[in-house]
A and B are shown apart, each in its own frame.
Chain A
Amino acid sequence: MLHLSGGSPRTPGHLISAADLSRDDAVLILDTAEEMARVADRPIKKLPTLRGRTVVNLFFEDSTRTRISFEAAAKRLSADVINFSAKGSSVSKGESLKDTALTLEAMGADAVVIRHHASGAPYRLATSGWIDGVVVNAGDGTHEHPTQALLDAFTMRRRLIGPDAGLGQDLSGRRITIVGDVLHSRVARSNVHLLGTLGAEVTLVAPPTLVPVGVESWPCEVSYDLDQVLPKSDAVMMLRVQRERMNAAFFPTEREYARRYGLDGDRMARMPEHAVVMHPGPMNRGMEITAEVADSDRCTAVEQVANGVSIRMAVLYLLLGGSEPAVTNNATARTEENK
Chain B
Amino acid sequence: MTKILIRGAKVLGGEPQDVLIDGETVAAVGTGLDAGDATVIEAAGKILLPGLVDLHTHLREPGREDSETVLTGTRAAASGGYTAVFAMANTFPVADTAGVVEQVWRLGKESGYCDVQPIGAVTVGLEGKQLSELGAMHDSAAGVTVFSDDGKCVDDAVIMRRALEYVKAFGGVIAQHAQEPRLTEGAQMNEGVVSAELGLGGWPAVAEESIIARDVLLAEHVGSRVHICHLSTAGSVEIVRWAKSRGIDVTAEVTPHHLLLTDELVRSYNPVYKVNPPLRTERDVMALREALADGTIDIVATDHAPHPHEDKDCEWAAAAMGMVGLETALSVVQQTMVETGLLDWAGVAERMSFKPASIGGLAGHGRPIAVGEPANLTLLDSAYRGVVDPAGFASRSRNTPYEGRELPGRVTHTFLRGRATVVDGKLA
A94 CB contact (under 8 Å) in B196, B201, B315: B315
Interface residue? A91 (CB, 8 A): yes
A217 to B192 CA separation, bound complex (whole angstroms): 10
Which residues of the partner chain A approach B201 to less than 8 Å between Cβ atoms?
A: 142
Which residues of the partner chain B approach A186 to less than 8 Å between Cβ atoms?
A: 199
Which residues of the partner chain B approach A213 to less than 8 Å between Cβ atoms?
A: 191-192, 195-196, 202, 204
Q: Does the CB pair A141–B197 fall under 8 Å?
A: no
Number of A-B residue pairs with CB-CB distance less than 8 Å in the complex they form: 89
Q: Does the CB pair B199–A140 fall under 8 Å?
A: yes
Interface residue? A178 (CB, 8 A): no
A189 CB contact (under 8 Å) in B193, B199, B204, B268: B199
Known pairs A120-B269, A124-B269; A214 contacts B317 (CB<8 A): no
A119 to B266 CA separation, bound complex (whole angstroms): 12
A115 to B345 CA separation, bound complex (whole angstroms): 52
Which residues of the partner chain A approach B196 to less than 8 Å between Cβ atoms?
A: 212-215, 217-218
Q: Does the CB pair A214–B316 fall under 8 Å?
A: no
B317 CB contact (under 8 Å) in A120, A127, A144, A215: A120
Mask: chain B, 172-208; 1 = CB below 8 Å from A; 0 = not: 0000000000000000100111111111111010000
Interface residue? B319 (CB, 8 A): yes
Q: Does the CB pair A143–B319 fall under 8 Å?
A: no
Which residues of the partner chain B approach A121 to less than 8 Å between Cβ atoms?
A: 315-317
Q: Which of B304-357 contact A (CB under 8 A)?
A: 310-311, 313-319
Q: Which of A225-281 contact B (CB under 8 A)?
A: none
Q: Which of A139-165 contact B (CB under 8 A)?
A: 140-144
Which residues of the partner chain B approach A127 to less than 8 Å between Cβ atoms?
A: 268-269
* A183 nearest CB neighbor, chain B only: B196
B200 CB contact (under 8 Å) in A91, A95, A119: A119
The tally of residues in A whose CB lies under 8 Å from a CB in B reads 32
Q: Does the CB pair B318–A93 fall under 8 Å?
A: yes
A217 CB contact (under 8 Å) in B193, B200, B319: B193
Q: Does the CB pair A93–B311 fall under 8 Å?
A: yes
Q: Does the CB pair B202–A98 fall under 8 Å?
A: no
Closest Cβ–Cβ distance, residue B188 to chain A (whole Å): 8
Q: Which of A182-233 contact B (CB under 8 A)?
A: 186, 189, 212-218
A218 to B199 CA separation, bound complex (whole angstroms): 13
Q: Does the CB pair A97–B202 fall under 8 Å?
A: no
Which residues of the partner chain A approach B191 to less than 8 Å between Cβ atoms?
A: 213-214
Interface residue? A329 (CB, 8 A): no
The tally of residues in B whose CB lies under 8 Å from a CB in A reads 25
Closest Cβ–Cβ distance, residue A312 to chain B (whole Å): 21
Known pairs A93-B314, A93-B318; A214 contacts B194 (CB<8 A): yes
Which residues of the partner chain B approach A140 to less than 8 Å between Cβ atoms?
A: 199
Mask: chain A, 121-132; 1 = CB below 8 Å from B; 0 = not: 101100110000
* B316 nearest CB neighbor, chain A only: A120
B314 CB contact (under 8 Å) in A97, A144, A215, A216: A97
Interface residue? A118 (CB, 8 A): yes
Known pairs A95-B310, A214-B191, A214-B192; A120 contacts B197 (CB<8 A): no
Which residues of the partner chain A approach B188 to less than 8 Å between Cβ atoms?
A: 119
* A213 nearest CB neighbor, chain B only: B191
Q: Does the CB pair B316–A119 fall under 8 Å?
A: yes
B316 CB contact (under 8 Å) in A19, A91, A93, A124: A124
B195 CB contact (under 8 Å) in A95, A123, A214: A214
Mask: chain A, 13-47; 1 = CB below 8 Å from B; 0 = not: 00000010000000000000000000000000000
A93 to B201 CA separation, bound complex (whole angstroms): 18
* A188 nearest CB neighbor, chain B only: B199
Q: Does the CB pair A143–B199 fall under 8 Å?
A: yes
A217 to B195 CA separation, bound complex (whole angstroms): 11
A173 to B280 CA separation, bound complex (whole angstroms): 36
A91 to B314 CA separation, bound complex (whole angstroms): 10
Q: Which of B53-80 contact A (CB under 8 A)?
A: none
Interface residue? A116 (CB, 8 A): yes
* B196 nearest CB neighbor, chain A only: A214
Q: Does the CB pair A214–B197 fall under 8 Å?
A: yes
Q: Does the CB pair A144–B199 fall under 8 Å?
A: yes
A144 to B316 CA separation, bound complex (whole angstroms): 15
Closest Cβ–Cβ distance, residue A194 to chain B (whole Å): 14
Known pairs A213-B196, A214-B194; A98 contacts B313 (CB<8 A): yes
Known pairs A94-B319, A213-B191, A213-B204; A119 contacts B314 (CB<8 A): no
* A97 nearest CB neighbor, chain B only: B315
Known pairs A93-B310, A214-B197; A120 contacts B192 (CB<8 A): no
Cβ-closest 8 pairs across A and B: A94-B314, A94-B318, A143-B199, A214-B196, A120-B269, A118-B317, A142-B199, A212-B196
Could you list 23 A-B pairs, sorted by A, with CB under 8 Å? A93-B311, A93-B318, A94-B319, A95-B310, A95-B314, A97-B314, A97-B315, A117-B317, A118-B316, A118-B317, A119-B188, A119-B198, A120-B200, A120-B269, A120-B317, A121-B315, A142-B200, A142-B201, A212-B195, A212-B196, A212-B202, A214-B191, A216-B193
Known: A119-B316, A214-B194, A218-B196. 4 other contacts (CB 8 A): A121-B317, A213-B192, A215-B196, A217-B197
Instruction: Give B residues with C-beta under 8 Å from A.
Output: 188, 191-202, 204, 268-269, 310-311, 313-319
